[in-house]
Amino acid sequence: MRQRIVAGNWKMNKTRDEGLALVSELSNMIADEVSGNVQVVLCPPSIYLAAVGKMIQGSGSIALGAQNCHQKAAGAYTGEVSAAMLRSVGVQYVILGHSERRQYFGESNSLLKEKTDIALEAGLTPIFCCGELLELREQGVHLDFVRNQLTESLFHLSNEQLRRLVIAYEPIWAIGTGKTASNAQAQEMHAALREHLASRYGQETAQEIRILYGGSVNASNAEELFASPDVDGGLVGGASLKSREFTDIVKAAAGKS
């Protein structure tokens, strides 16, 4: 059975004190709920990573994740953070290719190929995001579009490298809108992505890869979404900023809701 993951993406929210208070609440609440089949990942803004890492150090239930990294190992890139820097403060996971990065910062499939490589080289586990706009879904080309995101950014990897990744499907039309893909829509895409991975890397590897759903995941819909056979957890945005709601999502992933 694939270990489920619930990752909380704080985005650009919370002051330092607010963020650490949230971590303190979550550490106590989640410790009682998480079983061995669920990994919780907290992804605060990079400026808080070291502080959050100290708070969760030694916790088997919560891992530290970053929201982004630069595609180069080092250099004159003012304001950027490298994968090696993240690793040096205890980061284990890094979100790559979130739709907001693609939309607002013009991140392309080729750029994300570089970021994936540098993250793996630094020993990080990429949470690779993919997803489509509403107009692409309405045109009926959504499956091919998202498959192509994987092909162009990931299909140069070896079998061993691919097994170190987590994939997050996030329908862009459902992010921050309150809309959520139906169970059938989520399962259709997740199954299509797993099949696409199998076409390149074989069924055994494809069945090992965790594919998360991201798109207005909340305490009300998490249990139903996670019941789909190819949905292995969630990449959670706004709901990750509320300790009780995030904990309820973790409980749903653990089968305790």
The residue extents of the domains of the chain are: 4-253
Q: Which residues of 10-48 are buried (b: 16+ CB within 10 A; e: fewer)?
A: bbeebeeeebbebbeebbebbeebbeeebbbbbbbbbeb
With cut-offs at 50, 70 and 90, classify the pLDDT of residue 33: low
Q: What is the mean pLDDT of residues 8-22?
A: 98
Predicted local distance difference test score (pLDDT) of residue 32:
65
Q: What residue type is assigned to position 185 of the chain?
A: Q
Lowest mean pLDDT among 56-60, 103-107, 177-181, 197-201: 177-181
CATH no. of 4-253: 3.20.20.70
Tell me the pTM: 0.96
Q: 108 in helix, strand or coil?
A: coil
- The tens digit of pLDDT for each residue in 138-179 reads 899 999 999 999 999 999 999 999 999 999 999 988 877 777
DSSP 135-188: HHHHTT-HHHHHHHHHHHHHTTS-HHHHTT-EEEE--GGGSSSS----HHHHHH
Catalytic residue set: 98, 170
Q: Are 87 and 160 in contact (CB under 8 A)?
A: no
